[in-house]
Structure 1
Amino acid sequence: MNEKERPNIEQTASNGSAGRKQPLLVLIGPTAVGKTRMSLDLAKAWNAEIISGDSMQVYRGMDIGTAKIAMDEREGIAHHLIDICEPEYSYSAADFQTNATQAIADIAERGKLPFIVGGTGLYVESVCYGFQFADIGSDEAFRLEQERYAAEHGAEALHARLAAIDPAAGKRLHPNDLRRVIRALEVFHMTGETFSDQQAGQSKESPYELCIIGLTMDRAKLYRRIEERIDLMMEQGLVDEVKELLERNLPPQAVAMQGLGYKEIAEYLRGNCTLEAAVELLKRDTRRFAKRQLSWFRHMKDIHWIDMEQNFHNNLITIHDIIAGKFQVNLEYTSNQSF
């Protein structure tokens, strides 16, 4: 698409003559489904800047395990909320919502289309629908008690506590996601209301003119892609990347060390398992994570699902048509057009 054909999306923003909401393009899907390649093509076509919707890509020094797109692979597209904090910091969904909301405003101010791309469901949904994060504070003594319980009885036992009081959160959160399991327990401890009930009460009205594209594919094929990606991560030096993080003496419960790839390889480096066992565990955990991602997204509304097993070029044309229709932009695409 050349400059003459490029749609003038910013004219449909809330400060435009029509008084419409700010357009926001969103691309979601499970890990390894192909979001990165698709996002670059869409960003170039729609004059967009990308906001990473990944909870781990915010951390510096965590590149391989998060499948972070390198600078020389971004094809001139601006990317936001990547490498914005150190692994010692406990970055949260509320932090993301604040940062992403500001990024959306800044991008729109420059006449570009804000474009969230990522797979962390709560992060993305919190921005799309303006979730309110209650400031209920914290109970450090309670947190320490839960951490000691997990250390003594195992993460599965602590997770069972959560599943007993909040089955929905128990199903959504992995037992190894210790920080979020403890936070969900803490919310119930301090308010008497489950985390899931609080989320269910959130508004589903968006402050934006949303166009959400979801990518999916056959489960078996997706799992093969996940395993191939992990094999590539190992070749690229994931073990050395995790070793460097451990040398910073990050506590095991640090958010960064709960990320897929980091907690499994850390167990190997601590001498608790073989490298082969760590890699197999990582593949299994990532497959399960992808399943949870799809489960989360399928509870969101207004998603246009695209089967990535179909022809990529045809899928791209379909997505362009969806975006043009949603944002009411007069732009025609033909099957022989070059993108």
Structure 2
Amino acid sequence: MSNQLPVINLMGPTASGKTALACELYEQGGFELISVDSALVYLDMDIGTAKPSKEEQALYPHHLIDIITPLETYSAAQFVEDACVLIDDIHLRGKTPILVGGTMLYFKALLEGLSSNLPSADAAVRAEIEEKAHQQGWEAVYAELCVVDCLAAEKFKVTDKQRIIRALEVFKLTGQPITKLQAEQPKNIPYRYNFHNHALLPDRVELHERIEKRLKIMWDIGFLNEVETLIVKYDLSENLPSMRSVGYRQALEFIQKSDQSHKKQQEMEDKSLFATRQLAKRQYTWLRSLQESHKFKTYLTIKQAQEDLRNCYG
């Protein structure tokens, strides 16, 4: 459709090089960058999120970075609302938005829309569910889900803690299964956009090497000091969404619950590396799922992506 507004989506797993690609495109002029990252929204969480530095942000401004404190929450629905406003504003300025990041739930929500009228997260209900898990184990929580929403239980594993919490939360707040509500509610699809989807999918061995190098730099430049400062400034707890971010979760546990010996620190660093690799694995899975429903261009190497993007948008 001729009246559809172009939107460039640049996706990829963590440490794949997508931000550098977006900045290279930005330099060509006529673009603005929108971050699609559930960790970069948080103020003062800089090192562990590999957030562009202040100098880099001055050169390559990103929307939706540093918009809330680590004590606040930010949902996929809020992202879609904010992103759509920004996309429209950017087009009014005669430019094209580039959405860049690795939070695939946000991309999926933008591409496909979200079920409307589902209740917002409720801290008290979530605390109740998590307390049951602490007292009786996640198997007991999963068993409760099997009773109230067997369709959701079929989709989830016992280890899908956040999804189980959300499904039980919705049932406790509405008295109805989340699967029933999702099936009944219309999708809010932003038809006015024409999405150009690009994904960096590097070889996993190469990606794992890049992840390991990034994490080593994080430790070297003071990531633990950053988390200690955050704890003091915000009185953080492990139940906050911000502290569920990979790296922060492990560092917080190390600082608050261990003897902070060299051995414990090495264990924490190993856990962070494993968790980051698992994150990348989930991001690959999300991307391949999105590819089943949407048109994509995919690239194995950064060089390949650079050449194609220059041809497309140079």
Q: Which residue of 2 aligns with 1:122?
A: 105
Q: Which runs of 5+ in 2 are unaligned?
A: none
Residue of structure 1 aligned with 2:22, choices 17, 36, 39? 39
Tell me the CA shift for residue 157 of structure 1.
Answer: 6.7
Identity of aligned residues (%): 33
Tell me the CA shift for residue 299 of structure 1.
Answer: 1.1
Q: Which runs of 5+ in 1 are unaligned?
A: 1-17, 325-330, 332-339
Q: Is the 8 A contact 2:36 2:106 kept in 1?
A: yes
Tell me the CA shift for residue 227 of structure 1.
Answer: 1.3
Q: Is the 8 A contact 1:27 1:115 kept in 2?
A: yes
Q: Is the 8 A contact 2:142 2:153 kept in 1?
A: no
Q: Is the 8 A contact 2:41 2:68 kept in 1?
A: yes
SS of the aligned residue for 2:198 comes to: strand
State the alpha-carbon separation in 1 of the partners of residues 283 and 198 from structure 2: 14
SS of the aligned residue for 1:115 comes to: strand
State the alpha-carbon separation in 1 of the partners of residues 171 and 207 from structure 2: 35
State the alpha-carbon separation in 2 of the partners of residues 108 and 47 from structure 1: 10
State the alpha-carbon separation in 1 of the partners of residues 93 and 154 from structure 2: 41
State the alpha-carbon separation in 1 of the partners of residues 221 and 155 from structure 2: 34
1:132-154 per-position Cα deviation (integer Å, ceiling 9, x unaligned): 43333566654232120233345
Residue 242 (structure 2) pairs with residue 256 (structure 1): yes
Tell me the CA shift for residue 315 of structure 1.
Answer: 3.0
Letter in 2 for 1:268: F
Q: CA RMSD in A?
A: 3.0
Residue 299 (structure 2) pairs with residue 293 (structure 1): no
Aligned length: 301
Letter in 2 for 1:151: H
Q: Which residue of 1 aligns with 2:90?
A: 107
State the alpha-carbon separation in 2 of the partners of residues 130 and 143 from structure 1: 25
Q: Which has the higher contact order (CA 8 A, sep 6+)?
A: 2
Tell me the CA shift for residue 206 of structure 1.
Answer: 4.0
Residue 219 (structure 2) pairs with residue 234 (structure 1): yes
TM-score (norm 1): 0.79
Letter in 2 for 1:267: E
Q: Which residue of 2 aligns with 1:50?
A: 33
For residues 1-339 of structure 1, what are the structure 2 equivalents within 5 Å?
A: 19-45=2-28, 47-74=30-57, 76-137=59-120, 142-153=125-136, 158=141, 166=152, 170=156, 175=161, 178=162, 181-189=164-172, 190=174, 191-194=176-179, 202=187, 206-247=191-232, 248-272=234-258, 274-300=264-290, 301-308=294-301, 312=303, 314-321=304-311, 323=312
TM-score (norm 2): 0.84
Tell me the CA shift for residue 130 of structure 1.
Answer: 3.4
> Structure 1 residues 73 and 138, CA, compared in 2 at 3 Å: closer, same or farther?
closer
State the alpha-carbon separation in 1 of the partners of residues 45 and 67 from structure 2: 11
Q: Is the 8 A contact 1:268 1:275 kept in 2?
A: yes
Tell me the CA shift for residue 204 of structure 1.
Answer: 6.7
State the alpha-carbon separation in 2 of the partners of residues 75 and 224 from structure 1: 29
